[in-house]
Amino acid sequence: MSDVKGLELRTTVDADGWLTLDLAEVTHAAPADDELLVRVEAAPINPSDLGLLLGPADVSTLEEIGGGDRPALRFRIPPARLASVRARLGQSLPAGNEGAGTVIAAGAQGQDLIGRKVGMIGGAMFAEYRTIKRRDAVPLPEGASAADGAAMFVNPLTALAFVETTRREGHKAIVHTAAASNLGQMLQKICLADGIPLINIVRSAEQAAILREIGATHVLNSKDDDFRTRLADACAETGATIGFDAIGGGTLGSDILHAMEQAANRTAAAYSRYGSDTFKQLYIYGALDTAPTTLNRLAFGFQWSVSGFLLFPWLQKAGAEVVARMRQRIVDELTTTFASRYTATIGLREALTPDVLRAYERKATGEKYLIDPTR
């Protein structure tokens, strides 16, 4: 085949504190033996993508600097936060963790996939074309659209990793925050299927309704006055001692550990000033709130751990067999358990228009945008 040229969304931070989003033209040569060349037809904007796209930029400072066929935007990064992106200064970085599309060329090991739709993981998916290793693509089941397969890695694998972690570390039930997200809905479906009690924490009645509709029984609104009491009650009822927190900032994580501790103390035989002997684990896997995490640890003793949770290192540690089992379940349940809902589908250039950007960067729970670079 001859070289294929396509646009790719790029994010760049310069030393003066500007973050620029623009489109770069990239040339794709014929794929190597173990590679596929895929026309990207769908790629979700995940919160984790926004972290790379916009970094610590102040979105209110948005300026249009391109136009027409080559839109471009730039933003100021507050001086105090520039140090946090020092390592990426001057680098034009592609974005988009995952996506799906049609294989238009393949090396020797991928000939069977030409013309097939595949889901892909590995970055640089906000692009018209993606050259990718065969092993990082999964053929979609018959009848599935690119939109169906666009988000088949990050959220589904994360939800399954939560359940796997819960089992491995010996917990009986889970607390989850920002629980009405696409990820949260998948987690609820998995927990229902696998018989693991799940306590969902949301921030509005609308979000609670989304979860109840798919069968959730424990749904708590953190804005309710009696939230903390009800959380402790739910922990006591289910025995939840592990939490997964997408928010990170503030005291919610601490409140969860406190509720677990209160639940444990309801059955404790004797007073210990070191707290209960029930081990409580909180994983922080997101940063919807970038404020510091505040731990009122005197409220939950010494038997606890708060840890960062990051999918890819987790998968690496879990090993190929576990990951293969997860991937198979995702393919089998692609349009049921692992179905994603999108608020809107936008084109690659549209993603760089001010109103659209402001809409998708709001990170409203339950809202999610899909980029279709063929539009």
The residues with which 283 forms a beta bridge, in sequence order, are 244, 307
CA R_g for the chain: 22
**Residue keyed to tokens 């339950």:** 366
The token pair that represents 5 in the structure block: 């040229």
**Sign (positive or negative) of CA dihedral 156, 158, 162, 164:** positive
Q: Is 2 in the site for a second copy (CB under 8 A)?
A: no
How many chain residues are in contact with a second copy, going by CB under 8 A? Answer: 41
Minimal distance, residue 124 CB to a second copy, in Å: 14
80 contributes a contact to a second copy by CB under 8 A: no
| DSSP 8-state secondary structure symbol assigned to residue 351 | G
Judged by CB under 8 A, which of 4, 24, 192, 310 binds a second copy?
310
Question: Is residue 127 within 8 Å of residue 373, measured between CB atoms?
Answer: yes
Task: Examine residue 88 and tell whether it contacts a second copy (CB under 8 A).
Answer: yes
- Closer CB to a second copy, residue 111 or residue 307? 307
- Strand 117-121 and strand 98-106: the pairing is antiparallel
- In the numeric block, the tokens 């999918």 are attached to 311
Instruction: Determine contact, residues 368/45, Cβ cutoff 8 Å.
Output: yes
Q: Does 14 contact a second copy by CB under 8 A?
A: no
Question: Quick check: 91 binds a second copy (CB under 8 A)?
Answer: yes
Least distance CB 259 / a second copy (angstroms): 14
- Beta carbon of residue 272, minimum distance to a second copy (angstroms, whole number): 8
Given a contact cutoff of 8 angstroms between Cβ atoms, the answer to whether 203 and 223 are in contact is yes
Measured from the CB atom, the residue of 224 and 302 that comes closer to a second copy is 302
Closer Cβ to a second copy, 119 or 248, answer by number: 248
Nearer to a second copy, 67 or 292 (CB): 292
For 210, the 3-state DSSP assignment is helix
How far apart, in whole angstroms, are the C-alpha atoms of residue 26 and residue 308? 35
Structure tokens at 220: 């708590």
Site for a second copy in 313-372 (CB under 8 A): 313
Q: Rule CB under 8 A: say whether 78 interacts with a second copy.
A: no
When binding is defined by CB under 8 A, the residue of 273, 319, 336, 355 that contacts a second copy is: 273
Residue 287 structure tokens: 């940063």
Residues in the chain: 375
- Position 292 contacts a second copy (CB under 8 A): yes
Q: Does 92 bind a second copy (CB under 8 A)?
A: no
Note whether 296 binds a second copy by CB under 8 A. yes
List of residues contacting a second copy (CB under 8 A): 51-52, 55, 84-85, 87-88, 91, 93, 248, 254, 265, 268, 271, 273-275, 277, 284-285, 287, 290, 292-299, 301-310, 313
